[in-house]
Structures are given as structure tokens and as C-alpha cells.
Amino acid sequence: MNYLFIFFVCFLLQFLTSFEMNFINPIIPYLSSYFGIEKSSVIYLNFGFFFVGLFSPFFGMFTDKIGKKKGLFLATLFYIIGTFLSGIAFHPYFFAFSRMITGIGSLTIGATVIAYISDFIPFSQRGKAAGSLRIAFALAIMLAPMSASYMVERFNLKTLYFIVSSMAVVVLFLLLKLPSEPITRNTNGKTIDFVMLLSLLKNRTTQKVVLISFMVMAAPLSLFGFFSIWLDQHFSLGQREIGLIYTLVNSGTMVGVAAATMLSDKIGKFITAKIGFILMAATLFPLSFLNTIPLVVIIVMINALGLDGGFLAFQTLASEVNPKQRTLFMTLISFSHSLCSLIFVVAAPLLYNMGGYRLLNFIGGTASIIAIITLYSLSRDKVVDEGVSELA
């Protein structure tokens, strides 16, 4: 079996979905001007994208029924249609609807890729496997701000999205050559259904994993959701300068992912996740008090390092909590992310107008602390045997 080809295709899928998700926030000033809406209201364009994420467990059940390879193929089709429509959007409502279609593809791909890879790789080596996918994510968020800022300034939104759609079409054909995953029967030998979903949600371990995912998502939302607006208003920066800062701070993601990839299988994934989440919490609280760009870049870079390094380790752990229903279980993480994002989309503009960027940072920092406490409780449950002493 050609594992290199499997990694390559999954790497491209992860890169494309991450690229599209991460170039929206940096170009908020451009989108505000393009659609003629307030900057603080641009975040509402993401409502549909995250709303469909609430149904990700059902997408997961469907993927478990038809197979992960077919699920990835259908999800990529949705991604292509959504990004194409986003490129030709002439009205903010149409753009929001197009992003909703993109969200069906992106969120399903995000949950299914790690589940698909996990069917071929033993848990002892899964840290490196997940790391390769997270590197795709890191590359995407490093390249997205500057390249998207350049494309919309030099050309337009249509050109940016058409390039993304075209690349996805190429990946769609590559998907046809992927091997089908090994057949895994669930505990009762029955088809995965809504009853099993409810059973999973009643499990205390599942509840802790979902809570951690929810709280971890609150941190980057509170930081990056209004980061470009804060930079614009607080430092009077232009679109390209904002894109450059995003690129610089996102280099922390690359460092965090590389460190977690190399260390998580050695020191343990729980310890790696704890260290990452602590760094994330410690850097959120002081951010809004900073008045110099170099300090802002350093603090946010450390935050990105902790977030993505820690979440990589946590995501790898989550993939082994329920291996017989892995896709369904991983879509619960997508569900928690989408729920958190949806709440943020609705509440964040009000919170920002009420308490500014500082209030959002404090909310994100508090959520990070809750994630750390819950992760510690999960590690005490010994739900995953890593073969290292960290669980003691």
C-alpha cells in the first residue's frame, strides 16, 4: 500500500480547507468595503459556515455508513461548489450562503481525514501521522493571510476563490485513487445510528472531550475573530500590513506543530496538550494591554504555538477514544467547534462593542483555563493507554 500517496492527498485536502477558513479574518477590512457592510458585521458572513457544523455528527454517521473514502469525495464536491459560488457572490447574503455550502465540505473533510488516516496507522505512530496533517494546516494559515491580501488587492475576490476551487478539482481526481479503508465493525455489529450518537453523548469521557474542544475553540475565536479590526483601529495598519502580521504570528503554528509531532509520541500526548493549552491561556490575558507591534507579534506567536501544538496532541488522543466509531466521534469535535463558533458569531459583535477586544481576550483566556482543568480530569480517567508514565 502506498502510504506516501495517502498522506499526500490527505495533506492537500487539509491544506485547502484550512487555507479557505484562514484567509477570511485577515481580509475583513476588504470584505467590509467589497460588500459595503460594517467591519464588526463581517463576522456574520461566517454564520452559515458554522451553522452547518452543528449537523456534522450526522455527516459523520453518513460517512461511517458509506465509507470514509466516499465521504471525503462527496465532501470535496461540496467544497468545490461552495468556493466557486463564493467567488461569484455579488451580495453578502449570497456569499454567506456559499460559505455554508463550503462549510459542509470543509468541516466533514476536517473530521474524516484524521479518521481515515487512523485506520491505516497504529496509535503509537499516530502522533507523527496527525502531525503531517497539522503541518498542512500550519502552512495554510501561514500562507493564507499574505497571499489572500495580495490577491484581493492585486486582483479581486473572484480570482482568489477560483484558484482555490481549481486546486480542489485536482484533488478530487486524486481521491479516486485512494484505497478504501479497512472495514471496522462497531460493538454490536449494527449500523451506526442516532441512538448510538445519543449513547456517545451520554458518556462522561465524550462529554469531557467535547467540552475541551469547545473551550479550546473559544481561544482562537476571541483572539483572531477581531484581531484584524483591532490592528486596523489600534495601530492604523493597512491590508497588506495586517496580512504580514498574520503571517508572522502564524509561524508559531508551524513551530508548535513541529514540536508536537516530534515530542508527543515520546513524552506523551496528554503532557504535550497540557503544555500547549497553558501557553495559550497565559498569552491571551495580556495581549490587549500591549502597545507595540513587536510585542503583539511575539505574544500571539506563542499563543499559536501553544494552541496548535496542544490541539494536535489532543486531537490524536481523541481519535483513539472510540476507534470503532471514529468518524462519528471525531465529528463531535467538529460539532463543538461549530457550536462555539456560532455562539461567537452571534455574541462577539455585541461583546466587542460592549467591552472591546480586551473583554474577548479575557473570555478566551478563561475558556482556556477550563480546557486545562478538564484535560487534567480526562488524563486521570486513563481512557487511552499511551504506553508512557504520564497518565499516572
Burial 165-191 (b: 16+ CB within 10 A, else e): bebbeebbeebeebeebeeeeeeeeee
Residue showing cell 452559515: 48
pLDDT: is 325 or 192 the higher one? 325
The pLDDT value recorded for residue 1 is 57
- pLDDT of 305 above 90: yes
**pLDDT tens, residue by residue, 59-80:** 777 887 888 889 999 999 999 9
pTM score of the predicted model? 0.73
Mean pLDDT lowest for which of 180-194, 291-305, 338-352? 180-194
- pLDDT of 127 above 70: no
The pLDDT value recorded for residue 229 is 87
The superfamily (CATH) of domain 3-391 is: MFS general substrate transporter like domains (1.20.1250.20)
The pLDDT value recorded for residue 128 is 65
Q: What is the average pLDDT across 137-146?
A: 84
> What residue segments make up the domains of the chain, in order of their start?
3-391
**pLDDT tens, residue by residue, 1-20:** 577 888 889 899 999 999 99
Burial 219-254 (b: 16+ CB within 10 A, else e): bbbbbbbbbbbbbbeeeebebeebbbbbbbbbbbbb
- pLDDT of 222 above 60: yes
